[in-house]
Structure 1
Amino acid sequence: MDKSAWRRGTIASWESGKGFLLGLLILCLVGGGTWLFTIKGLYLLPEKMCEGTLERGMVTQVLPQVRSAEDGSGRRGGGESFSFSCYVHTSSNASLWGRAQVRPVFHEQWVESYRGSGDHRIISVSADGIEALAQLEADDAVAALFVPCVPPVIPPYNASAPYAVITEVSVSGDTEATGRTLGQALTDIAYSLTEHAYELAECKKARNFPEELPRYEDS
């Protein structure tokens, strides 16, 4: 083989190798982009949502990684009929939803509404007149909070009824956590919504909410 033929063969091999490396680089970039697009949905949510009550870190404890997600919140009514809602919907079948509302309700009735026929396993904690519970064996995982509240105005027909801010947070579809861990995460979200709603509803009795409620594992 003369030098010219050898040089042409070397150049051709080098060009072929360069093309292979370039193709591999493009594949990695496309694959990496697809990976980011597929699982980064939750991390593209705002750091704080729902008027600052819901942190992104709370969401990632509950919902699995998805392609895309959206959040939202809303207020309705005022005083004895006030409600505040918060949600995160995802491109998969997983969703997180919560609502805190002021309602006339007896504590015993509230508890029984979650205990149901006895098929649901309930865990609960309380502190400073605030009670939280979680259903561990429901079709959709649920956490709820109860905080007594005296609205600024009470209708005459409910003058003797006790009022409270009652909050429920639930998750449907696939979840990142399960069991007691999931119940704790949902309860922490419910607690944050409750504290916010208590202030917005202008409940008469000033209340110092603890930094957090006791953990379920300690109960």
Structure 2
Amino acid sequence: MATTFDVARVRGSYPALADGHAYLDGAAGTQVPGSVIDAIAAAYRAGIGNIGGAFAASERSDAIVAEARRAVADLTGGAASGVVFGPSMTALTYRMSAALARGWAPGDEIVVSRLDHDANIRPWIQAAARAGAVVRWAEADLATGELPAAQYAELVGDRTRLVAVTAASNVLGTRPDVAAIAAVAHAAGALCYVDGVHATPHIPVDVSALGAD
């Protein structure tokens, strides 16, 4: 039996949407439902402290973080032990790029795309510059808004260390064939870093199926 999506009910669970505005860009800040607001308020009412401490407030914080990691792993098909929280996707990507770039050498290559949000471009470009690595660009098809996966066969080579790509464009909603792109990267021994910020709220996400490292 066909089911319908109750837009009014879902919108009603997000208090911020009552202001009548349409929030189109997830990168500008994600609105949350009342259940999330209630959970945050409940945590502060109970009292929390720095994690890793030997007192009750700290133990509550540890439990909240552990449960949050399990929830994110369930949402993305990942492992709770691999979930790391941070202030923003941009900040986390800067940290990841700085860590990975320590193993890059002059002449190594990375591949970024014109379709991506700047948060998945600039950190990699700056890290490449510091390491002396070469930046190669995957081009979007301006007529269709798509990111052709076939071009990666020419862009990725023996010196490629990382391919960064979005799972969905924050501007167009375009969803590249990430699994195909990741397969090319892995065949060359490179890592594939996937920005899932704009895909995860809208479609089922499985990091293993995507090939995301």
**TM-score bracket for the superposition, by shorter chain length:** under 0.3
* Higher RCO, 1 vs 2 (CA within 8 Å, ≥6 residues apart): 1
When the two structures are superposed, what TM-score results if normalisation uses the length of structure 1? 0.25
Structure in which a larger fraction of residues adopt helix: 2
